[in-house]
């Protein structure tokens, strides 16, 4: 259908108009109740409802106008999206630039029997949003996706065939819940605990304003991400057919995304501190054009047993991983780290003590209990802050490693949260080996890698190693360009 010389023109299903009206109605009714609760306003309920109805009618007319004048033309070599409305658009998306063609089904899609096709481009521009979306009846969307997969990814399997392929690793919904709890970064978990503690304190001091603020921050930092992860990865499946990887999942809104292995820039096995305590890790990939409106890095495996994740990694992306004989960070690297930590700890403790001393002065004469609590907090800060700072360097010294393979190299970095990342030489944008005065004095340096990622440009920093060893990364990148091992055509 797409390979011949004729053009095939599509228009979004009319359900997009209903979706816009529904979104506008929800926003307007929230505003309606906010205005209604404010007794200083002199508007009647009927007047407000009349305004809401007029606005919804305007939204419906505008949505219809845009729907009527927006077309998707599937030509021989590209997708041509054109719109001749108030704001005109003329967009050309070459098939060779597509990173993936995804399928998303929201509640509106299920009601109207439609599917939303998302066209993601292999570019750092608008990395977290699809370049274009097209809503069609489900059967028509499946047929179009099958043809695009065959054309772009040389994938012969249809959507129905994909549903029968076994997942590479069984991920139960219980695993998804565990992933939502333990998979968050340590700093996020600590912030959630701090907000919970703050909320409890506000209850005891009878400060409703502080309590509401703490609860809002707790919901934003902990509850919403927890629910979002469960909704996104429920019924998770991942499989590889040929050189194409497909990821599926979702509870309310289901998603199916496929991408070629040659579009992957790096593969990362991430182990947050809480997950490491249970010998669990997760597998992520940097695939430019794969992050969507949820702004998430593609997840190749939720939290599972570390050995199971390594097995999946070697089965799923053998082109990236290798049996490493890693070089550990030398012991002398710990000395500049400890000196830096000492300066940082003194500054942080000084700030904490100053804040707590101010609080103690404010509470003087008001409550002996709260004065004692503040003094105990000063002592706790003086003990805990150095332990956290020095503990991070100790963990980093234990885990940081570096190794080079034939087509990729390995950085293990982090402190409490450990990342084991395999990076493709050919996807590196820049390499910088740097050393500060303290690091130079002890003969170590760090390597900073820049490459395109799912969320835009990303910088990865190694531990402290011999400068000559780290400079081999940049030398290898340039050597692959000179001797022809790097061939841009194999990444299209």
Separation of first and last alpha carbons in the chain: 22
Question: Rounded CA gap, 229 and 221, in Å?
Answer: 13
**Residues 135-164, mean pLDDT to the nearest whole number:** 77
| pLDDT at residue 194, rounded to an integer | 75
* Beta bridge partners of residue 21, listed in sequence order: none
Beta-carbon contacts of 191 under 8 Å, excluding residues fewer than 6 positions away, are 217, 221
The token duo for 28 is: 């307007």
The token duo for 437 is: 């005065």
For residue 399, which of 303, 464, 487, 483 has the smallest C-alpha distance?
A: 464
What is the value of pTM for the model shown?
Answer: 0.80
The token duo for 476 is: 């290898």
**Residues 35-41, mean pLDDT to the nearest whole number:** 52
| pLDDT 10s digits, 286-300 | 887 665 545 567 889
Angular region, 443: left φ>0, alpha ψ -120 to 50, beta rest: left
Q: Mean pLDDT of all residues in the chain?
A: 82
How long is the chain? 492
**Residues 71-81, mean pLDDT to the nearest whole number:** 88
Question: Rounded CA gap, 162 and 103, in Å?
Answer: 13
Query: Which CB contacts under 8 angstroms, 24+ apart, belong to 433-442?
Result: 433/467, 433/470, 433/471, 433/474, 435/467, 436/336, 438/335, 438/336, 438/339, 438/340, 439/333, 439/336, 439/464, 441/336, 442/332, 442/333, 442/335, 442/336
At 148, the pLDDT band (50, 70, 90 cuts) reads confident
| pLDDT 10s digits, 187-223 | 888 777 777 777 776 666 555 556 677 677 777 777 8
Question: Rounded CA gap, 145 and 326, in Å?
Answer: 42
Do the Cβ atoms of 245 and 298 come closer than 8 Å?
no
């Amino acid at each position: 259908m797409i390979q011949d010389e004729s053009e095939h023109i599509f228009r979004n299903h009319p359900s997009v108009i209903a979706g816009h009206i529904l979104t506008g109605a929800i926003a307007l009714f929230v505003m309606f109740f906010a205005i209604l609760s404010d007794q200083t306003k002199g508007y009647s309920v009927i007047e407000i409802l009349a305004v809401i109805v007029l606005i919804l009618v305007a939204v419906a007319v505008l949505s219809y106008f845009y729907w009527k004048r927006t077309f998707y033309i599937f030509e021989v070599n590209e997708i041509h999206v054109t719109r001749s409305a108030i704001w005109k658009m003329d967009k050309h998306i070459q098939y060779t630039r597509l990173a993936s063609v995804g399928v998303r089904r929201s509640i509106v899609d299920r009601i109207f029997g439609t599917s939303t096709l998302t066209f993601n481009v292999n570019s750092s521009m608008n990395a977290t949003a699809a370049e274009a979306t097209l809503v069609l009846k489900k059967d028509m969307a499946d047929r179009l996706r099958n043809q695009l997969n065959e054309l772009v990814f040389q994938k012969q399997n249809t959507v129905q065939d994909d549903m029968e392929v076994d997942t590479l690793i069984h991920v139960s919904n219980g695993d998804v819940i565990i992933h939502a709890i333990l998979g968050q970064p340590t700093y996020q978990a600590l912030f959630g605990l701090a907000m919970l503690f703050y909320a409890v304190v506000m209850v005891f001091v009878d400060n409703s304003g502080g309590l509401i603020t703490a609860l809002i921050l707790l919901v934003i930092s902990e509850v919403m991400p927890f629910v979002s992860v469960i909704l996104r990865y429920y019924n998770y499946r991942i499989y590889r057919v040929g050189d194409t990887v497909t990821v599926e999942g979702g509870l309310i809104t289901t998603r199916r995304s496929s991408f070629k292995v040659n579009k992957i820039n790096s593969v990362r096995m991430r182990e947050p501190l809480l997950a490491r305590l249970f010998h669990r890790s997760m597998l992520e990939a940097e695939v430019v054009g794969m992050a969507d409106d949820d702004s998430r890095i593609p997840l190749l495996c939720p939290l599972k047993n570390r050995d199971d994740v390594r097995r999946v990694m070697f089965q799923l992306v053998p082109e990236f991983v290798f049996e490493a004989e890693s070089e550990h960070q030398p012991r002398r690297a710990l000395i500049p780290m400890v000196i830096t930590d000492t300066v940082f700890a003194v500054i942080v403790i000084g700030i904490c003590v100053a804040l707590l001393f101010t609080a103690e002065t404010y509470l003087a004469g008001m409550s002996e209990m709260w004065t004692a609590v503040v003094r105990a907090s000063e002592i706790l800060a003086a003990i805990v802050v150095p332990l956290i700072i020095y503990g991070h360097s100790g963990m980093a010294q234990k885990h940081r490693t570096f190794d080079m393979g034939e087509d990729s190299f390995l950085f293990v970095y982090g402190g409490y949260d450990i990342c084991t990342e395999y990076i493709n030489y050919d996807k590196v944008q820049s390499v910088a080996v740097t050393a500060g005065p303290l690091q130079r004095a002890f003969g170590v340096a760090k390597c900073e890698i820049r490459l395109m990622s799912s969320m835009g440009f990303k910088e990865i920093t190694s531990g402290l190693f011999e400068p000559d060893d780290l400079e081999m990364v940049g030398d290898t990148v340039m050597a692959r360009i000179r001797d022809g091992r790097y061939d841009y055509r194999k990444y299209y």
